[in-house]
Amino acid sequence: MTIDEELTLLDSNLRRLKIEYEIFFNNPTKRPPTDIEWKVLSLLRKFSDGGKMNFSQRYRYNEMAQRYAIYSDLWRKKSRIREEGYRRPQDALLSVQGVRGGDEAKAQAHPVYGVGHAASAGTNEAAFAVQCSDTTSERNKVENLFRALTDAKKRAGEAVSGNLDSFASFVQKKTEQIRKQYGCHTVEYTVETQDGQVKLKARAKV
């Protein structure tokens, strides 16, 4: 199975896991979908170093790992409330509607296999960050992000592929996807170097 096929499988399992957890929280007799979650975690661990993936594959992986981080944080909150019982009206609301706004923003930073980790001292170069909402009118931001990414790759001795136009198209599609998926207005992109490896990350800004 190729990397792209395994990433497609990861995406499919993640979507199924979300549905199974929704069923679990709405049915007291159901067991948590631990088997599917184990499959998701196994694939996340397998590709956590990103060494065998190209730029597009790494970005696709990071998006799914970030999505799992948000979901898992919500599922832990719901599980705790379910075990302890509903003590406040907002707890019951959480069980039904999920987390919005600030709670999702906090979940973005939840560490999951190389995504959202706080790097140890001396292993992480200062990150370049830029926030985008409409990349077609923010060309200068995209250019700065592309320049920061290519410069970081050159310093790390990594191959630089693609041009500004293809990168701008990629960022535009990714920004629209994340805005639609998380209902946010702005997407923050960061270029970081962790343990000698350059990573481009994106997260919804609520």
87 in a domain, yes or no?
Answer: yes
Predicted confidence at residue 89, as pLDDT, reads 46
In a domain, 118, yes or no: no
Full-model pTM: 0.45
88 in a domain, yes or no?
A: yes
Same domain, 11 and 104: yes
Per-residue confidence at 16, pLDDT binned at 50, 70, 90? Answer: very high
Q: Considering 56, 74, 108, which residue would you say is the last residue of a domain?
A: 108
- Same domain for 101 and 132, yes or no, is no
Does a structural domain hold residue 96? yes
Same domain assignment for residues 94 and 182: no
- Whether 123 is covered by a domain: the verdict is no
Domain that holds residue 75: 3-108
Average pLDDT over residues 189-196: 81
Domain identity same for 100 and 8: yes
**Residue type at 106?**
K
Same domain, 138 and 46: no
Over residues 154-162, the mean pLDDT reads 77
The pLDDT value recorded for residue 32 is 84
pLDDT at 70: 86
Number of compact structural domains in the chain: 2
Do 139 and 69 lie in one domain? The reply is: no
Q: Which of 103-107, 131-135, 193-197 has the lowest mean pLDDT?
A: 103-107
Question: Last residue of some domain: 77, 108, 139?
Answer: 108
Task: Report how far Cα 26 is from the mean position of its chain's Cα atoms.
Answer: 26
Is residue 116 in a domain?
Answer: no
Q: Are residue 100 and residue 147 in the same domain, yes or no?
A: no
- Rounded CA gap, 149 and 50, in Å? 16
| pLDDT in the model for residue 206 | 64
CA dihedral 152, 198, 149, 201 (to 10 degrees): -150
pLDDT band, residue 13 (cuts 50/70/90) = very high
Confidence (pLDDT) at 116: 36
Q: Is 75 inside any structural domain?
A: yes
Distances (CA, A) of 145 to 102, 107, 192, 194: 26, 24, 11, 17
The pLDDT score that the predictor gives to residue 8 is 92
Q: Are residues 29 and 86 in the same domain?
A: yes
Is 99 part of any domain? yes
- Can you tell me whether residue 124 is helix, strand or coil? strand
Alpha-carbon gap, residue 21 to 7, rounded angstroms: 21
Long-range contacts of 166-174 (CB under 8 A, 24+ apart): 167/142, 168/135, 168/139, 168/142, 170/56, 170/59, 171/132, 171/135, 171/142, 171/145, 172/135, 172/136, 172/142, 174/59, 174/63, 174/202
- Which pLDDT does position 12 carry in this prediction? 93
- The predicted-structure confidence for 71-96, as pLDDT tens digits, reads as follows 888 888 877 776 665 444 444 444 44
Please state the rounded mean pLDDT for residues 61-67.
Answer: 87
